[in-house]
Amino acid sequence: MLKIGCCGFPRARREMFRHFAAVEVQQTFYEPPRPKTLAGWRMEAPEDFEFTLKAWQPITHPAGSPTYRRLRTPLARPEDAGFFRPTATVNAAWARTLAAAQALGAKVVLFQCPARFVPQEENIANLRSFFRSVARDDLVFAWEPRGPWPDQLVRALCRELELVHAVDPLQRRPLAGRLVYFRLHGIGGYHYRYTDGDLERLLALCPRRKPTYCLFNNTTMFDDARRFQRLIAGTSHRVATVS
């Protein structure tokens, strides 16, 4: 029920496959690799290893975002990108994201929004239109809003559009979804190293009866994820001994 891993590959793929149950692929956000390349990763990984992936940025981020510096292939109409707009650019970006998910055998696609994507009427309408219209292909969609989104609105939209509320549980509680999708960004920033107390608190926040992803996204993500695994193993041993 609990899958621990990293957002990206801080170590070689084979080492990640050996130690973890899941990885959230980040390359698909900047520009999806060819499906043949991703299918090769799927073949390299153990059968029970799970890939999730971050949706390509033209869906969520306008072309002026700093992340576009890593875009290799210029968009034909960059002015039409981002904020789930009903444009050919956004639709094409989803088609490439879906092809990447299929090549990886992924179950979950994450849509991370920039802080500039605020709860305005136009943005909410575009969000609704996108998630109501795109082909899901049995995928679970996780949505990570940032900025001033009220809990009541996030909960309502997630329920209406069948979205999982992706969240850093040490900063905000999850509000909706048939599974739990935690992204650990570092308390106060990417360079934060989680303390033993932080990891114990994280474990206490993990539900016991729902599939849960705990994906670390900080400088020491590999080490912190391994420490979290050891904490869980130690806790399980203590419970078994007491029983």
pLDDT tens, position by position, 49-101: 999 999 999 999 999 999 999 999 999 999 999 999 999 999 999 999 999 99
Q: Which of 206, 144, 140 is nearest to 170 (CA)?
A: 206
Q: What is the pLDDT of residues 161-200, one digit of tens each?
A: 999 999 999 999 999 999 999 999 999 999 999 999 999 9
Q: What is the number of alpha carbons within 13 Å of residue 240 lying toward its C-beta?
A: 6
Residue 230, pLDDT > 80, answer yes
From residue 70, give the alpha-carbon distance in Å to each of 66, 116, 205. Answer: 9, 20, 35
Residue 7: pLDDT band (50, 70, 90) is: very high
The total domain count for the chain is 1
Q: What is the pLDDT of residues 113-162, one digit of tens each?
A: 999 999 999 999 999 999 999 988 899 999 999 989 999 999 999 999 99
Question: What is d(CA 146, CA 116) in angstroms, rounded to the nearest whole number?
Answer: 8
Q: What is the CATH number of the domain that holds 139?
A: 3.20.20.410
> What pLDDT score does 1 carry?
86
Query: What value does the CA radius of gyration of the chain take, rounded to a whole number of Å?
Result: 18
Residue 236: pLDDT band (50, 70, 90) is: low
Question: What is d(CA 148, CA 119) in angstroms, rounded to the nearest whole number?
Answer: 7
Q: Which residue has the higher pLDDT, 236 or 8?
A: 8
Instruction: Answer whether 141's CB lies under 8 Å from 162's CB.
Output: yes
The per-residue DSSP string of 65-111 comes to SGGGGG-SS--S-GGG-STT-SSHHHHHHHHHHHHHHHHHT-SEEEE
Tokens of 214: 């705990």
Domain that holds residue 201: 2-242
The SS3 of residue 193 is coil
